[in-house]
């Protein structure tokens, strides 16, 4: 066949296969037989083999998976991928409704309700209609580029029906049937099975070899747009329809509810229907439908105020408590852990559950040998609910906390006002190990490839005794460790190196200063900008910072006074670890005083060209302004980008001040 003939047949095949694929995988309504589809696909594969120069990266043949990758690249999300607050019962849902109404000045919201698919969140980016990148959620700000694997999911169109540039988000998952088949195959091959469909989906998408993902039969439902820059879309349910019109797959069970009573009815109906679904869900997501109202409600640090996840009641299972282990944490707290006869709870095998402290063991009257009821709190963390006293045989044994640290044998103490027993030996190996694990964890320095196991290895071999040692590791040293090949050593070293450029809050959180969580670390980093400034801050200065209370201020001062801490920070500095804040700047108190936004209600509309919407919003809020979604008589200022529609018209009608994006940038430049 001549090349031009081949090209036109290839084009034709691609178009047909895309269309058939859309009906089969997205709409679940095939219009040709499987055999016919396979035959056309085969023809395309062989034509592309004969004419490799005609292969494009959006050809339907990429679904079979290309070459393996050496590692996943990191991806910065334009709009952070947040999580949701939880509701566990009707009362929580009514509270949510009250908070929403309060936030909206008693306006009546309507709600969009969707199934909460139990998979993993992914972001898809399209440029002029072409699928260019897919990423995992990661820590919410930075995820991993899994484009190659996502391309193997047939319901993800490689081209949209319109040539638009946008980001869509959704949940990738493995249908129940595929999960069962996969595990049957694993069992037959003598391999370890996946605990549940979510782990199987996550495991498949984190394979460097896309051929593996291609065989796993994954699917995906899209549930939101990254940023909505289309003035025609004013509600979440319209956004969903738009996503569907572009050729993307949305879940068909969502419902637009007029009020919280209808929401509760919807939620209840799914408690019953849940087992019949061909995929796993772990709850229902409830979202305020009007986008303007969503903007008015805004976000907390972790999640939107306009949405909540209702979680189905946790499954409870009976098992035997066969022993109690002791664990020494990063701060020296000794925690008793129940060792259980393994049972399956909500899809995974549970062997251990934290018992928190001795008081709780007394309160629940737990003895070794008891039959206990176990559930997973929030469907994640195993917990002993209660003891089945009627099943006691008299053989059960009482448990007593030790008086010495199980790891270093120093005397344990009970600090005033605390229920926990602590090991206060700063050289306790368990504490050091846990501290190192915390330092490398995702919300702290986020060093890929360094988990609990490798840390334990490095520590046991004497290669790492404090966090600074991580930055002194040598290739030769690592190569000697068990289960560490050249590739993993190189990857680990470059992962460590990369964290030297982290913004200050990651280091601050990683240091593990008492009471300083990830959020406080961010506040401190934003406020002080360098570690020197924070080291110099006294109690009063710290307490004056918004959200920093007495306990935390004290703890920070005490922490930085310690000789070892001063040394550690100098050492990290010399090793090249950055100690400055790299995120958006906070304006000074004077800026706020003089700010044209102080106490003003501002609406952003249209497409901004130089700033992201979040950057603009952050600036305005930092300068004392409040962002709302809709223009009303209460609006003081409207800032308009390109293609502003009805909101601009409304502002003009009401005689509200309107600024262009340039004007806004000028006013906020300093």
Q: Would you tell me which residues interact with ligand IVH (CB under 6 A)?
A: 82-84, 114, 116-117, 121, 137, 171, 223-224, 285, 304, 309
Strand 348-354 and strand 333-345: the pairing is: antiparallel
CB of 83 to ligand IVH, least distance (A): 4
Give residue number: closest CB to ligand IVH: 121
Give 192-248 as a DSSP string: PPPSSHHHHHHHHHT-S-HHHHHHT--EEEEEEESS---TT--BHHHHHHHHHHTT-
Nearest of 613, 594, 657 to residue 79 by alpha carbon: 613
Distance of alpha carbon 181 from alpha carbon 204, whole angstroms: 14
- Give the DSSP H or E segment for 118: none
Distance of alpha carbon 594 from alpha carbon 437, whole angstroms: 45
- Give the DSSP H or E segment for 499: none
CB of 606 to ligand IVH, least distance (A): 23
CB closer to ligand IVH, 285 vs 333: 285
Distance of alpha carbon 327 from alpha carbon 353, whole angstroms: 12
| Annotated catalytic residue, options 29, 116, 193, 519 | 116
Give 56-109 as a DSSP string: -TTSGGGGG--PPPSSPPEEE-SS------EE-SHHHHHHHHHHHHHHTTTPPP
CB of 237 to ligand IVH, least distance (A): 12
Distance of alpha carbon 371 from alpha carbon 599, whole angstroms: 59
CB closer to ligand IVH, 117 vs 458: 117
161: annotated active-site residue: no
CB closer to ligand IVH, 251 vs 657: 251
* Measured CA distances, 4 to 8, 9, 488, 615 (Å): 6, 9, 46, 49
CB closer to ligand IVH, 80 vs 645: 80
SS3 labels along 604-649: EECECCCCCHHHHHHHHHHCCCEEECCCCCCCCEEEECECCCHHHH
For 495, list phi and psi in degrees, rounded to 5. Answer: -65, -40
CB of 532 to ligand IVH, least distance (A): 36
CB of 173 to ligand IVH, least distance (A): 9
CB of 223 to ligand IVH, least distance (A): 4
Residues 6 or more apart whose Cβ sits within 8 Å of residue 614: 79, 80
CB of 212 to ligand IVH, least distance (A): 22
CB closer to ligand IVH, 84 vs 156: 84
Nearest of 178, 294, 182 to residue 238 by alpha carbon: 294
**Taking a C-beta distance cutoff of 8 angstroms, is the pair 111, 286 a contact?**
yes
CB closer to ligand IVH, 303 vs 530: 303
CB closer to ligand IVH, 148 vs 224: 224
CB closer to ligand IVH, 50 vs 302: 302
CB of 17 to ligand IVH, least distance (A): 29
CB closer to ligand IVH, 194 vs 310: 310
Report, in this order, helix, strand and coil percent for the chain, each rounded to 5.
40, 20, 40
Distance of alpha carbon 303 from alpha carbon 308, whole angstroms: 9
Nearest of 279, 334, 349 to residue 120 by alpha carbon: 279
Distance of alpha carbon 567 from alpha carbon 250, whole angstroms: 55
Hey, which residues does 386 pair with through a beta bridge? 373
CB of 154 to ligand IVH, least distance (A): 20
Catalytic positions are 116
């Amino acid at each position: 066949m001549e090349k031009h003939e081949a090209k036109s047949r290839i084009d034709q095949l691609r178009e047909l296969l895309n269309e058939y694929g859309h009906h089969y995988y997205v709409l679940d309504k095939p219009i040709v037989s499987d055999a016919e589809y396979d035959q056309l696909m085969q023809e395309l594969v062989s034509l592309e083999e004969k004419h490799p120069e005609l292969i494009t990266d959006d050809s339907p043949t990429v679904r079979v998976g290309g070459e393996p990758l050496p590692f996943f690249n990191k991806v910065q999300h334009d709009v952070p991928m947040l999580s949701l607050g939880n509701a566990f019962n009707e009362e929580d849902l009514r509270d949510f409704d009250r908070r929403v109404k309060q936030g909206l000045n008693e306006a009546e919201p309507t709600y969009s309700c969707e199934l909460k698919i139990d998979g993993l969140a992914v972001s898809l980016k399209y440029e002029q209609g072409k699928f260019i990148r897919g990423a995992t959620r990661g820590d919410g700000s930075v995820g991993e580029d899994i484009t190659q694997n996502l391309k193997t999911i047939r319901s993800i169109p490689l081209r949209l029906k319109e040539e638009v540039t946008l980001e869509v988000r959704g949940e990738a998952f493995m249908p129940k049937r595929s999960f069962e088949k996969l595990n049957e195959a694993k069992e037959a091959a003598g391999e370890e099975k996946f605990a549940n469909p979510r782990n199987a989906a996550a495991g498949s998408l984190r394979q460097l070899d896309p051929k593996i993902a291609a065989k796993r039969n994954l699917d995906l439902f899209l549930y939101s747009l990254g940023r909505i820059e289309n003035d025609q879309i004013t509600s979440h349910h319209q956004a969903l329809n738009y996503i569907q019109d572009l050729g993307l797959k949305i879940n068909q069970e969502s419902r637009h509810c007029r009020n919280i009573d209808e929401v509760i009815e919807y939620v209840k109906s799914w408690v019953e229907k849940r087992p019949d679904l061909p995929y796993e869900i772990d709850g229902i997501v409830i979202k305020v439908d009007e986008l303007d109202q969503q903007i008015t409600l805004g976000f907390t640090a972790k999640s939107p105020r306009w949405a909540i996840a209702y979680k189905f009641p946790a499954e409870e299972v009976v098992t035997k408590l066969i022993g109690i282990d002791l664990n020494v944490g990063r701060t020296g707290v000794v925690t008793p852990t129940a060792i259980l006869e393994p049972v399956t709870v909500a899809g995974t095998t549970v062997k251990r559950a934290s018992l928190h402290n001795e008081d709780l063991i007394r309160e629940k009257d737990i003895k070794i040998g008891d039959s206990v009821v176990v559930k997973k709190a929030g469907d994640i963390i195993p917990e002993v609910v209660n003891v089945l006293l009627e099943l006691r045989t008299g053989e059960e044994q009482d448990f007593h906390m030790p008086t010495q640290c199980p790891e270093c044998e120093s005397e344990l103490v009970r600090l005033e006002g605390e229920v926990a027993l602590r090991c206060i030996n700063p050289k306790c190996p368990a504490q050091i190990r846990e501290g190192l694990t915390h330092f490398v964890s995702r919300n702290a320095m986020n060093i890929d490839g360094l988990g609990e196991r490798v840390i334990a290895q490095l520590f046991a071999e004497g290669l790492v005794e404090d966090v600074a040692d991580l930055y002194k590791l040598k290739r030769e040293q690592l190569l000697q460790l068990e289960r560490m090949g050249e590739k993993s050593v190189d990857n680990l070293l470059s992962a460590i190196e990369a964290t030297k450029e982290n913004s200050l809050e990651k280091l601050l959180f990683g240091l593990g200063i008492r009471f300083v969580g990830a959020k406080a670390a961010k506040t401190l980093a934003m406020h002080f900008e360098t570690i020197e400034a924070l080291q110099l801050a006294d109690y009063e200065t710290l307490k004056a910072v918004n959200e920093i209370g007495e306990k935390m201020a004290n703890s920070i001062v005490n922490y930085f006074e310690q000789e070892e801490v001063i040394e550690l920070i100098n050492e990290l500095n010399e090793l090249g670890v950055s100690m400055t804040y790299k995120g958006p700047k906070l304006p000074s108190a004077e800026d706020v005083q003089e700010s044209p936004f102080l106490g003003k209600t501002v609406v952003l509309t249209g497409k901004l060209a130089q700033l992201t919407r979040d950057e603009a919003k952050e600036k305005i809020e930092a300068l004392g302004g409040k962002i709302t979604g809709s223009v009303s008589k209460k609006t003081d200022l409207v800032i308009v980008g390109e293609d502003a529609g009805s909101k601009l018209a409304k502002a003009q009608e009401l005689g509200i001040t309107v600024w262009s994006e340039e004007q806004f940038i000028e006013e906020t430049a300093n």
